[in-house]
Amino acid sequence: MDSLWIAATGARAILRRQDVVTNNLANVNTTGYRGAQAQFRALPVYGEPLPSNAYVATQGNTADFQQGPMRHTGRNLDVAVQGPGWIGVQAADGSTAYTRNGDLRISGNGLLTTSDGHPVLNQAGAPISLPQLTSIQIGADGTISGVPAGSPPSAPVVLGRIQLVNPPAAQLQRGADGLFRDTQGPAQADPNVQLASGVLEGSNVNPVQAMVQMLENTRAFEMQTKLMQSIDQNHQAAAQLLNVS
């Protein structure tokens, strides 16, 4: 039954790849989303009948770090990382994580957060807390300035600076929350990372390409299941011949 098991691992791998493509399509409109790519590895089957046989093993997912399309919004709290780099945020468990989601908000208690509620960190690694403001601007280097309520419009003050980092892509790992983390620990602020204000970066998933991949996966799964059926039928036929003899 080795051949049937090997064919089954191939079918399982195709289903895993389809899950990844489906999730990419679900995030085609998610700000700053990085598409995922399923990774597999061929491993040898030891023992009889042939040592040259191989099966498919899941190696996990990698991310596509290509930049997504930029969309101008004109909103002061919208920022997009230009080129490589990340915005430091605080994950739900309190750890430091990274995102490309520059759709920023000010919560009811004055915290600067992403649209999905993660507090944005300053260069010291602490959440950025803001007073009541009549205006706000975010500079290319992440510096936040604004006019506190009750102050004259001509007297903006510096309120903090967003943590911008650029760890090596090979060290980044995506968590179940969609945020990336540096496997070597929190990254140091990188002054070379720049923001564009009034701009949002879209998902880098190509919906047409993803749909084509879904169709290819469907066809490949059908072929794999037909192969499994043929193997099973051959085994049954062989067993009947042995019983007759």
Q: What is the mean pLDDT of residues 94-102?
A: 97
For strands 133-138 and 143-148, give the pairing. Answer: antiparallel
User: Would the CA dihedral through 63, 64, 67, 72 be positive or negative?
Assistant: negative
Q: Are residues 20 and 94 in the same domain?
A: no
Q: How far is CA 87 from the centre of its chain?
A: 14
* Per-residue model confidence as pLDDT tens digits over 32-44: 999 998 876 665 6
Count of the separate structural domains present in the chain: 2
- Collapsed DSSP state (helix, strand, coil) of residue 196: strand
Q: Are residues 75 and 187 in the same domain?
A: yes
In the chain, the largest separation of any two C-alpha atoms, in whole Å, equals 101
Q: Are residues 114 and 12 in the same domain?
A: no
- CA angle, 129 as apex, 125 and 135 as ends, to 5°? 125
Q: How many helices (H) and strands (E) does the chain have?
A: 2, 16
Q: What is the mean pLDDT of residues 106-115?
A: 96
Q: What is the pTM of this model?
A: 0.80
- The answer to whether the CB of 31 falls within 8 A of the CB of 104 is no
Q: Are residues 126 and 232 in the same domain?
A: no
Q: Are residues 191 and 90 in the same domain?
A: yes
Phi/psi of residue 4, each to 5°?
A: -65, -40
Q: Are residues 223 and 172 in the same domain?
A: no
Q: Are residues 132 and 13 in the same domain?
A: no
CA 116 – CA 30 distance, rounded (Å): 10
In which domain, by residue range, is 90 found? 70-201
Q: Are residues 192 and 86 in the same domain?
A: yes
Which helix (H) or strand (E) segment is 104 a member of? strand 104-106
- CA angle, 104 as apex, 143 and 71 as ends, to 5°? 95
The label of the residue with tokens 């090979």 reads: 170
DSSP code of 170?
G
Q: Are residues 146 and 39 in the same domain?
A: no
* Per-residue model confidence as pLDDT tens digits over 187-222: 999 999 999 999 999 999 999 999 999 899 888 888
Q: Are residues 110 and 183 in the same domain?
A: yes
**Count of beta carbons in the 10 Å neighbourhood of residue 114:** 20
* Per-residue model confidence as pLDDT tens digits over 5-33: 666 777 788 888 899 999 999 999 999 99
Q: Are residues 140 and 41 in the same domain?
A: no
Q: Are residues 174 and 83 in the same domain?
A: yes
Confidence at residue 47, expressed as pLDDT on a 0 to 100 scale: 57
